[in-house]
Structure 1
């Protein structure tokens, strides 16, 4: 281990997501605590910075005490950009973008947590790279920055010296991977145990997304979605679903798309893909058996569904994400 601590710097901005900052920081802080207990030198020098020194209010209304951008002198080892409700405004801050570009150019590695990927994309740091962000904003990221190769499912992605992670708590997964790269699996596992989290979380972020993305405040189809998720091998055609809701097919189609933002067929496909993802990761079942269990009808139909929803084949998904 190096005798000099590695610098970890996170830029903060108004309405930053608190866990995007505190989650990764706690991983490195816990590593420092464990190192101290073992008589080892400090592993990481941690710093939160902002355009001006002082408190920065997070979206949780808890203020973070930040140093000034000017306090960062010399190369940064690890630059981590958080996200949150304020990231859209932050992405228009020319000073923040220039600061990020300047320090990213000299950093050993650069990372984003959740929607922090939007700020890195605005800075031109993600062009041509595989990236991920919060599942609810993957489509938006791909549309706004077409030069990015956006993937929807990984908890985090490494593409060279650039790391991006999924939503909020995925920043902890990302930081544990960074820690493992620096100081080995044993140290990362000890920190994961201390924080009571997975060192490698099973599955991808879309295991949390399909049912959640179908919900909204006026959830008139909520009970239908629960039933669909537990009857994936049943007839989930528009006529069958419309009958269950005691609606005409035309009315069902119109109201469903208005409320959920997608067609019933698209929703069914997403629910089936999500269920298949879990079985691919958690069982040794064949793809054929999983396809039948999840209502795809055939391996080929399942493969096409995975291609549309995740951009990868079922077998490739299993190889990447199974524990």
Structure 2
């Protein structure tokens, strides 16, 4: 939503400053927090304009007799069920750029120069990671939201505050975990990332996990679990179950646990009991591993 450039613009729109401020606050609350044009467009006026007359299409000619019958056509190729666990997807340039990074600093620099994900053009900041890269636990969420986009760090908004409390309940904080997402730029309006956007970022996510080398990998939410475990089941069916994750560049598999996303727990607080059980599993694994 474009903001008035000065008070004369507000007066010309027939609004006093207080009304204009209230309208702007309502738009932001509704999710319209990005300007798409320099000036507002009256869509109702455009809809009232008569549509241009359409030329009628010429009558279709009778179809020619088929020269081949279905019996002699080759059968369609089978659609692959999906890549095996740990397979690298996305375009070759992303894969080469990710694999060339030999440190987290180089991986971040590669992402800053990467132009293969269209979300970069609409985001304010690259949201790379937060926490301790030497920690035993690595958490991977879905994508940055508005707060994360402004700050440039993952899980800093309301969901992040709940995540901090969840970690604290089992004796962990951000000095003892490392946090990132499967998407490094905020999708407009906090929408769900598309499969193409996930595929564009995936080589960097896989390399991110390889460079950190965590003892435990925690997948926060449905998108992270489906992306890295290549599972079709939803998070409610696989949360609390341990899996093994291993990409092509890893020498050993990593014990991996999907858990509910804090944003989901804010909408469905009754699920916090299951979330607590999952957190206890993480604590138990940490306590019983050397």
TM-score using structure 2 length = 0.30
Work out which of the two has the higher radius of gyration on C-alpha atoms and give 1 or 2: 2
TM-score using structure 1 length = 0.28
Greater strand content: 1
Greater helix content: 1
Higher-RCO chain (CA-CA 8 Å, sequence separation at least 6): 2
